[in-house]
């Protein structure tokens, strides 16, 4: 018998994770959401996955467009994380107002000022519980390793500190 959803969520809140904004462009309209459920699948070929709630407004556009970009946020992008999480009251394409973004290969929005951006072509979508696992073939990467990462832990944003040697 599986554990209760409450216990599962309590345990997952103890897992510190990098904060990303997953974006897509479908029929000329951008869509996106904040996500921490992102991970590498394979280096050869380069693939990653992102888990998106099926009720999220960006889920259908990701599936329909067949493309998405995983934007890894920098420490100074907390407001952007909140905006794409729906905490600012903005939804849909409105979340992109005032944001600078470009495109790489697929045409999915690449947010400026991020530590990394993984521009992906959708290769698989698997339904799992309340979410869709989107697997993307990484067609382009932009990196800014000089920027500090934004992390999420126990319901709060945080920074990474180096341990003393």
Provide the residue ranges of all domains of the chain, joining segments of one domain with +.
5-153
Domain 5-153: state its class: mainly beta
Distance between CA atoms of residues 121 and 42, nearest Å: 14
Report yes or no: 95 and 87 within 8 Å, Cβ to Cβ: no
CA-nearest of 112, 128, 130, 108 to 120 is: 108
Q: Identify the weakest region by mean pLDDT among 49-63, 98-112, 126-140, 146-160.
A: 146-160
Q: What does the pLDDT look like over 88-133, one tens digit per residue? A: 898 989 999 989 999 999 999 999 999 999 999 999 999 999 999 9
Cα–Cα distances in Å, from 38 out to 61, 99, 127, 165?
18, 22, 15, 30
pLDDT band for position 165 (50/70/90)? confident
Query: What is the dihedral sign for C-alpha 128, 84, 115, 146?
Result: negative
How confident is the model at residue 162, as a pLDDT?
A: 79
């Amino acid at each position: 018998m599986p554990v209760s959803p409450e216990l599962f969520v309590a345990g997952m809140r103890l897992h510190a994770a990098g904060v990303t904004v997953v974006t897509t462009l479908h029929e000329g309209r951008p869509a996106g959401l904040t996500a921490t459920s992102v991970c590498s699948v394979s280096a050869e070929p380069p693939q990653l996955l992102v888990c998106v709630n099926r009720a999220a407004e960006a889920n259908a556009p990701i599936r329909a467009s067949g493309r998405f970009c995983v934007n890894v946020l920098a420490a100074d992008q907390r407001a952007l994380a909140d905006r794409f999480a729906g905490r600012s009251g903005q939804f849909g394409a409105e979340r992109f107002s005032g944001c600078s973004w470009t495109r790489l290969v697929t045409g999915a929005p690449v947010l400026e000022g991020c530590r990394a951006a993984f521009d992906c072509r959708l290769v698989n979508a698997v339904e799992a519980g309340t979410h869709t696992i989107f697997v993307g073939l990484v067609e382009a990467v932009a990196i800014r390793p000089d920027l500090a990462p934004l992390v999420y832990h126990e319901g709060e944003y945080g920074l990474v500190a180096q341990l003393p040697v």
